[in-house]
Amino acid sequence: MKITKVEGVLLSAPLAEEHIVRWSGGEMTITNAALVVISTDTGLTGIGDTYAGGWFYPKAAKAMLEHFAPLLLGEDPCEPLQLAHKLRSRSLYWGRVGASINAISAIENALWDIAGQAAGLPVWKLIGGLAHDRLPLYASAGLDKPRDAVIKEMEIHLADGFRAVKIRVSTDLARAVDKVRLCREVLGPGTRLMVDAVMGSHPDPWDAKTAIGFARAIEPFDIAWLEEPCGGDDYEGYARVRAATSIPISGGETSFGVGEFMHFLRAGALDIVQPDACTSGGIVESQRIATAAAAHGLKVAPHAWGSAATVTANVHWAFTQPNVVIQEYPAWGFPLRDALLAEPLDIRDGFIHPPRQPGLGVVLTDDIRRKFAWREGGGARMRVD
C-alpha cells in the first residue's frame, strides 16, 4: 500500500448563540477544523486534526500539511513512526515546536488511522493494548455565560450522566470565585469539579501570586484540579502555585513533545499532566509523555477539545496508559465532535469504553464537506488588551 495524496481540508462550523465559545482569552462564533486526509492506492483514507491549526491559523495549517506532502507520497502509510520521524527530521531547524508539530501530529494520527483500518483493528490495539476496560469521562465546557445559562448547563451535564465537569473562569478574581461557588452548588458534592484558568494561551496570564490567591479562595469548594494557573512556560510559577495550595495542579495542553513537558516535570510543577495527540507530537509522543509522567509518579488526563478526529486520537492512546485517570470530552456544542464519527462513542454512566471500529473510527464524507464548508473570517479572535 502506498500514499497517493495528502490533502489539507478546512471546515467551518457556525455556533448557535448558546454555544458561542467565550473565555477570558478570546471568543469564537465560527469554529474551524484544519484536517489532513491521507489517501492510498487501496482506497483506504486516514484523517487527522491539527486542532490549534483550525482554531488559530487555518490557512497556514492547510499549507503546512501540504508542505509535508512530497515527503509522504509513495510511502507505506502503515509505518507511522518512521514517517513521523522523517517529517520531524526535515523540520528540526525551523519547526521543533508550534505549527509544524501540529501538522506532524495530525499526519501521524491519520497514518495510525490507515494502519488500523488495514489491520482491521482499533488503533489502541496496535499501540499497546488496553490498560483500562473503561475510563471516567468529564464534561468540558463551562465557558463565559450569564449566570442562568451556567446553571442550566451544569444541570444538563448532570442529566447527561457526567460525574465530573470542568469550567473556565474569568481573570476577574471575584467573578471567578463566584462562578466556582455557583457551579459547586448546582453540581452538588457528588460531582467532581475541575477549574481551568486557561492561562496557557492567555495574552496576559496570571503571575504565581495571583494564581495562589485564586487557588486558596476556591479550596473550600473541593476542586479536583486547577488547570493552567500560569503562563504556558512559567514552570517556576506553576511550581510555586502547586506548593502553596492543596488543590492538584494540571497543565501541558500547549506544550510540545517530551522535551517541553520535561520542564514541568523537573520543576515539580504538576500533579496531573495533560498532553494532546494533536498538539504534543502525535499519538505515540503522547504515550511517551505519559510514560515520563509515570516515572515522576504523576497522573495523566489527556486534553481533547476539538473535532472527533481530536477526541478519538486521544481516547485511543489514553486507553493504553496505566496512569491515565480520566478523559476530557468537549461538551460545548461543537458539531464536528460528532459529525465525523463513523459510529457513536460508547459512553455510559459517566464512563467511556474502548472504541471498536478499525482505525480511529472517523469519516469525512462529501456531505460533511458541503455542510461544513470553509468560511473566511472564522476561528478564534484573541484578546489584545
What CATH number is associated with residue 217? 3.20.20.120
Judgement on whether residues 177 and 257 belong to the same structural domain of the protein: yes
Q: How far apart are CA 288 and CA 309, in angstroms?
A: 20
For 202, the grid coordinates are: 492567555
Q: How far apart are CA 302 and CA 281, in angstroms?
A: 13
Task: Using pLDDT thresholds of 50, 70 and 90, give the confidence band for residue 384.
Answer: low
For 59, the grid coordinates are: 490557512
Q: Which domain holds residue 144?
A: 125-352
For 221, the grid coordinates are: 469548594
What are 13-39's pLDDT values in tens digits?
999 988 999 999 999 999 999 999 999
Judgement on whether residues 280 and 232 belong to the same structural domain of the protein: yes
Q: Does residue 122 surpass a pLDDT of 90?
A: yes
Return the DSSP state at 352: E
Task: Using pLDDT thresholds of 50, 70 and 90, give the confidence band for residue 229.
Answer: very high
Residue with cell 470542568: 166
- What percent of the chain stands above pLDDT 70? 99
Assigned domain for 244 exists = yes
Beta carbons of 284 and 263 less than 8 angstroms apart: no
For 347, the grid coordinates are: 459512553
Bridge-partner residues for 341, per DSSP? Answer: 362
Judgement on whether residues 172 and 116 belong to the same structural domain of the protein: no
Judgement on whether residues 136 and 157 belong to the same structural domain of the protein: yes
Assigned domain for 97 exists = yes
Judgement on whether residues 101 and 33 belong to the same structural domain of the protein: yes
Which of 225, 217, 229, 210 is CA-nearest to residue 166? 225
pLDDT, residue 39, reads 98
Judgement on whether residues 110 and 32 belong to the same structural domain of the protein: yes
- Phi/psi for 362 (5° steps) reads -125, 150
